[in-house]
Amino acid sequence: MNEVKLEQLLRQFFLEDIGDGDITCETVFPADERAAGVFAAKADGVIAGIGIIAAGYRLLDPRVEVSIMKRDGERVAAGEAIAAASGPVRALLSGERVILNLLQRLSGIATVTRQAVDLLGDSHTRICDTRKTTPGLRMLEKYAVTCGGGYNHRFGLYDGVMIKDNHIAFCGSIADAVKAVRERLGHMVKIEVETETEAEVLEAVEAGADVIMFDNRTPDEVRSFVRLVPKPIITEASGGITLANVAAYGATGVDYISLGFLTHSARALDISFDLQ
């Protein structure tokens, strides 16, 4: 996780929430009042974003001291403490909500990602995310996927080519679309092609795609498509895949399974912060 970008994000989030000042804390507590509190999980899950606690409080008041008890990627049980913080009570409580919102969101993503990874068992297939992320939180949400044992797909439109149905329709064919990209981009940029039929898979292979994605296909269809793709080409299954059927897709031999719900529908992990 990029620390500079994290600090920029936290500044924006604190400005949105605190604005000109926390009028509750500033009227209830003297400026020199100190306290200590504990962050604890209220449900079983996987932790992600634990560094946000220290980074957030460092921005608000460098006198806040943070002790970490759980690391990113570690499982946590309900009732287990994950971190402690002590220092000026105004800072502790003013930063509590932003920190908890992020920590709960990221830990929820890490938890559902770990569930998907566990369901695949020893399969060589890897779980990865998509661009279906919350605007402004992509870096953090994709980081959370890695904490859960998953992998990142492209981060944006700038770091990888994905030729989809609309691109193909405009260009006239998969071959023409891939050719147009190859003529303009260097060898460091990979080209992925979205396919739905056997004919499209074969065309993508012939065109020299680096990655071929099978979109909204059944496990049986994916299995048959995988056999058509030479080993150097990476295969990916996407669309209509859930925790209930992810193991069936993993058994097809596909290299990656991309899951949008990891980031767009993950349920936040319940975490509390209580002063002691």
Number of CB atoms found within 10 A of residue 179's CB:
14
194 has catalytic annotation: yes
Q: Is the pLDDT of residue 19 over 90?
A: yes
- pLDDT of amino acid 122: 84
As a whole number, mean pLDDT of residues 259-268 equals 97
Q: Are residues 70 and 123 in the same domain?
A: no
Q: Tell me whether residue 164 is one of the annotated catalytic residues.
A: yes
Cα(208)–Cα(210) distance, rounded to whole angstroms? Answer: 6
In this structure, the chain runs to a length of 276
Beta-sheet strand order (sheet of 65-68): 65-68, 81-88, 34-41, 271-275
- Whether residue 205 is predicted with pLDDT greater than 90 in this model: the reply is yes
Q: Are residues 91 and 24 in the same domain?
A: yes
Please tell me which residue in 22, 72, 141, 194 is annotated as part of the active site.
194
Q: Total structural domains in the chain?
A: 2
Domain that holds residue 34: 3-117+267-275
Question: Is 42 noted as a catalytic residue in this protein?
Answer: no
Known catalytic membership, residue 74: no
| Active-site entry in 176, 215, 221, 270 | 215
DSSP letter for each residue of 238-263: ESS--TTTHHHHHTTT-SEEE-THHH
- pLDDT above 90 (res 193): yes
Assess whether 214 and 163 both reside in one domain. yes
Q: Residue 73: give its domain's CATH number.
A: 3.90.1170.20
Give start and end residues of each alpha helix (H) in the chain. Answer: 3-18, 23-28, 51-60, 89-120, 138-147, 165-171, 174-184, 198-207, 219-226, 246-250, 261-264
pLDDT for res 224: 98
Catalytic residue, chosen from 131, 132, 138, 182, is: 132
Are residues 206 and 228 located together in one domain of the fold?
A: yes
Distance CA 220, CA 230 (A): 18
In this prediction, residue 219 has a pLDDT band, given cuts at 50, 70 and 90, of very high
Question: Residue 27 phi/psi, 5° resolution?
Answer: -100, -20
Q: Do residue 128 and residue 9 come from a single domain?
A: no
Q: Say what the pLDDT of residue 245 is.
A: 98
Given the residues 42, 138, 164, 190, the one annotated as active site:
164
**190 noted as active-site residue:** no
Give the pLDDT score at 123.
86
Catalytic residue among 58, 75, 97, 190: 97
